[in-house]
Amino acid sequence: MMTETPVGATIEKIDKKLEARLAEILQPDEHVVFKIDGGLAQALVATDQRAIILKRGAVVSIVGGISVYTQPYGAIAGIEWTWSPLTWGYFAIQTAGATPISSRSIGLGNKQLGEATKAANAIGIRSKKVATALETAAGWIQSKATAAHAAPAPSPASASDADEINKLGELHQAGLLTSEEFAAAKAKLLGI
C-alpha cells in the first residue's frame, strides 16, 4: 500500500552517511514518505510504518557513529515542536513518559537548540526552511499516531441479526434444528 506524501513535504537529499544507514534499517516492504535534512548532520524520515531520526558526528555521543531513533506511529504520544527566528527551535518525537525538551532546559534559543541536538528523539532547528518542513512533518506524523491509537470499535450485532438468532432459537426449541445446526448458524451470524 502506497502512502500519499503530505502537501509541503518532500524527499530531500540528506547526509550521505545518514542515507546509507537509512538504507540498512528500512524493511523491504517499507516505503519512505518524506525525508527532511535538518542540517547539523540530522535528518527526519517518515515511512509508511514509522518515524525515524538519524544523527551523526558531533551531535552523537559515539565518535564517528550514527544515532538512529525510530518509533512506530502507534508508540508516538505526540510531537513537540517550536520555532522562532529569534530563538531558533526544535522538533521532538514524544513517547509516553518521555521528558519533553522544553522541560530539560531553562531558557530559550541556543540552550534548547543544544538540548534538542543532543537528544536522540529530537532535531534542533536553525533555519526557517527546516522549520517549515518540520511543521508539515509534525502535523502528518501526529495524524498517523492518532490514527494508530484509534482502535476500531467492535460492531455490535445488528437488530436484524438479533431477530434472526431469536428465530433460530425458536426453530431449535421446536426441534427443527439440532444443537449443532443452531450453534453453527448463530456463529455465522455473529461472524465467529
What pLDDT does residue 4 have? 53
Give buried/exposed letters for 73-107 (b at 16+ CB in 10 A, else e): beebebbbbbbeeeebbbbbbbeeeeeebeebbee
Q: Helix %, strand %, coil % for the chain, to 5? A: 40, 25, 35
Q: Across the strands, what pairs with 39? A: 42
What pLDDT does residue 142 have? 93
Contacts of 80 (CB under 8 A, 6+ apart): 90, 91, 92, 94, 100, 101, 102, 122
What pLDDT does residue 180 have? 85
What pLDDT does residue 149 have? 85
What pLDDT does residue 2 have? 45
Distance, in Å, from the CA atom of 145 to the CA atom of 147, rounded to the nearest integer, reads 5
What pLDDT does residue 174 have? 84
What pLDDT does residue 62 have? 57
- Picking from 172, 177, 76, 66, the residue whose alpha carbon sits closest to that of residue 120 is 66
Distance, in Å, from the CA atom of 192 to the CA atom of 185, rounded to the nearest integer, reads 10
pLDDT in tens, the chain (192 residues): 445 555 555 788 899 999 999 999 999 999 999 999 988 889 999 999 999 999 987 655 555 688 899 999 999 999 988 887 776 778 889 988 776 665 454 344 455 555 666 788 888 888 888 888 888 899 999 999 999 888 665 555 566 777 888 888 888 788 887 888 888 888 887 777
